[in-house]
A and B are shown apart, each in its own frame.
Chain A
Amino acid sequence: MKARIIDRDDVLKIADLLQGQGYDVIAPFPGRGRDTFFESISDENRQRFQIHLPNPYYPPKRFVFPHMERLLTVRRSNGDLLIEPTYRESKRALFGIRSCDVAGIYHLDRFYLGREYHDIYYEKRRRNLFLVNVVCTVPGADINNECFCLCTDTGPAAKDHFDLQLMDLGDEFMVVAGTPAGEALFSDSMFKRGSEAHREKRVAILNEVRKQFKKTTSWFSATVRYVSQGAVLDKTWEEIGNRCLECGGCTYVCPACTCFTVSDHQTGSDEIERVRIWDACALAGFTRMAGGHNPRRAVHDRRNRRFFRKLAHYFIQRELSMACVGCGRCAAVCHGDVGMPNVVEMIRRASLESDTHAD
């Protein structure tokens, strides 16, 4: 991968270059309190732009997989059915997407575009999306208490799957190109060649940043093994399930969750639309069939399901990526504190207990 150096003051000029190419450039902006939100960069808000700020809870997943998306419309006319798919394609650039979320989008790529069936709605949005990754380097701003990308190997600096990557070196930024489209921007005169000193500074900063993570769930890989082998006791899942309030919040903030439901709506006297909407395996109706039979009734079975789908080795092999990217959002929003890091911890503790009781 090629890298260049730019002046600190030139960062937003990259956004200008992308706007010049017709992209709607979307960046995280500070909101009220801790929360931040994605918004298109405009003349009005560019003064408020910050490179280092907490990652928005509402993940950037929606730019490729919106929480509600129309799939098709059907019109009845003279006894005929006119079934029309509805596609939206617009050029968008995510400016300042964090490394965990880059891994999230990569996981969605593997899921929706991999294997036998190919999701054309996802594909049309994805191929028009340009990713400018920002390396997280500032504890308290970029790096929050819940972050555990060190354990999922997805950050603080993404290794791949971005178009451009920006890293704060102090007075300057290092810009790495991950794709030919990203590299093409280097023709602009603001990009200068770097030196060995720049590279050393990058390594030194990253080494220091890696020590700043509060949640180092070092048991993550052991949990993958326990879950894959079915070695987590029912008792532990029940303990986890008892703390789940079945709100579905964890799936709505997850950058790697893929499930959806489909619903028809009347839009005119002879016209309907079919939309897909994010769905959550935490919700009781997720597996309920017509007639009322529900093979997965208990809350703990549903919790078990979520973590099995995310962590079982079989699925990691199937997609060659894992459906958890270490962003920590589930830990931040869960009222029962059964987000990923604490579930890993509960499984670890249970394994110690069962060891004590072994004869």
Chain B
Amino acid sequence: MPTENIYLPKTAILDRVTDEIAEVKTFHWHFEDEAEQKAFKKFRPGQFAQVSLFGVGEFPTSLPPSPTEQETFFTVRSVGSCTSALHQLKPGDKFGVRGPYGNGFPMDAYEGKNLVFVAGGIGLIPLRSCIVYALNNRDKYGRIQIFYGSKTPSELMYVANLREWEQATAVECSLTVDRTCPTDVWTGNIGVVGSLFKKPGVGIPVENTIAFVCGPPVMFRFVINDLIDLGFEERNIVSTLERYMKCGVGKCGHCCIGVAYVCTDGPVFTYEQIKKLGEDI
């Protein structure tokens, strides 16, 4: 019988913090123990980790880096007690991490297919991992398209990555915002993310294509309808769900919806599966 303690966090050290958008920061960190770091680095895009702020609690968060990248980091919005506590940490501070958990996106099974990434707001955080992974394994995939939208230009995430993807020939990247302020310098599209799909020259391939969708519930519903109108089958649309979780390993029961524990059976599900779970996104 395994003797490992599934609830035991390992010590992590914060290296540096970068601002993304208001309330959202990226935290670069590494495990104190080198062997832990090496083992953790085998994660798959779409998996998640449990972060411990001792004395406050523990929360699940997606892993935005690709395993093909050197650094490990989280991008977290300050929204509850644990995430605010993480935002208070300074470089050199220690906290706890355990994982990786969950199924992740089956990137191997998608080899040879076109990939369409549709993200809204901080929904880009979990998809960033797959995008970077696909671009670092560019010859394994067909066309790669990114459609990303936020409410305003100042709420676009990972701006450096976006610039890089917009200029790269390996990937087609289209951005949009819902609205602009007079002070914004924005020459791009204005409208919801679905409004990009039918722009001249975009041409989303439907055959042999996987669509990754991640964003706020409203955006999710509209994008799903748009994709289905384009002819996507429900099993070729994938997303990652978030739920209140305490353990991350299928024991505490909080994330159990329908017949699935989001932590161990997910968090990645096809839209076909999500519909059967029968609960709000």
Interface, chain A (partner B; CB < 8 A)? 71-72, 74, 76, 79-81, 83, 85, 111-113, 115-121, 123, 230, 258-264, 266, 272, 274, 276, 279, 281, 286-291, 295-296, 301, 305, 308-309, 312, 314-315
Residues A262 and B5 in contact, CB atoms below 8 Å apart: no
Q: How far is the CA of A112 from the CA of B247 in the complex (A)?
A: 12
Contact A287 B244 (CB under 8 A): yes
Residues of B near A262 (CB, < 8 A) are 7, 57-58, 246-247, 252
Taking a contact as CB atoms under 8 Å apart, the answer to whether B79 and A290 are in contact is: yes
Q: A118-B1, A290-B82 are in contact. Are A85 and B8 (CB under 8 A)?
A: yes
Contact of A83 with B8 at beta-carbon distance under 8 Å, contacts A118-B2, A315-B259 already known: yes
Interface: B68 (CB within 8 A): no
Q: In the complex the two chains form, is B243's CB within 8 Å of A259's CB?
A: no
A119→B6 CA distance, assembly (Å): 7
Contacts of A83 in B (CB 8 A): 8-11, 96
| A289–B242 CB distance below 8 A | yes
Whole-angstrom distance between the alpha carbons of A74 and B95 in the complex?
Answer: 10
Residues of chain B within 8 A (CB-CB) of A79 are 92, 94
* Chain A residues within 8 Å of B34, by CB: none
Residue of B with least CB distance to A272: B55
If A79-B92, A230-B278, A291-B80 are given as contacts, then 8 extra A-B residue pairs at C-beta distance below 8 Å, sorted by A number, are A74-B55, A80-B11, A260-B247, A279-B253, A279-B254, A289-B244, A295-B279, A295-B280
Are B253's CB and A281's CB within 8 A? yes
**Closest chain B residue, CB of each to CB of A118:** B2
Taken together as a complex, chains A and B put the C-alpha atoms of A264 and B256 apart, in Å, by 23
Query: Once the chains bind, are B94 and A291 in contact (CB under 8 Å)?
Result: no
B279 touches A296 (CB 8 A): yes
Mark out the residues of chain B between 1 and 46 whose CB falls within 8 Å of any chain A CB in the assembled complex: 1-11
Do A295 and B257 have beta carbons less than 8 Å apart? yes
Task: Tell me if A260 and B253 are in contact (CB < 8 A).
Answer: yes
B249 and chain A: residue at smallest CB distance: A117
Report which of B54, B59, B243, B250 forms a contact with A81, defined as CB distance below 8 A: B54
Q: How many A-B residue pairs have CB under 8 A?
A: 120
Q: How far is the CA of A291 from the CA of B83 in the complex (A)?
A: 11
Complex CA gap A111/B250 in Å reads 9
Q: Mind listing 29 A-B residue pairs with CB under 8 Å?
A: A74-B55, A76-B54, A81-B11, A81-B54, A81-B94, A83-B10, A85-B7, A111-B251, A112-B251, A115-B264, A116-B250, A121-B7, A258-B251, A259-B252, A260-B252, A260-B253, A262-B7, A262-B58, A262-B246, A264-B57, A279-B252, A281-B253, A287-B243, A287-B244, A287-B254, A295-B243, A295-B257, A312-B259, A315-B259
Interfacial chain B residues near A276, Cβ < 8 Å:
246, 252
Q: Which residues of A contact B242 (CB under 8 A)?
A: 289
- A83-B11, A118-B1, A259-B254 given; A264·B56 CB < 8 A: yes
Which residue on chain B has the smallest CB distance to residue A291?
Answer: B79
Query: Could you tell me the distance in whole angstroms from the C-beta of A5 to the nearest C-beta in chain B?
Result: 36
CB atoms of B58 and A117 under 8 A apart: no
Q: Which of B205-263 contact A (CB under 8 A)?
A: 242-244, 246-247, 249-254, 256-259
> Within the assembled complex, what's the spacing in Å between the Cα atoms of A309 and B56?
30
Residues from chain A with Cβ under 8 Å of B278 in the complex: 230
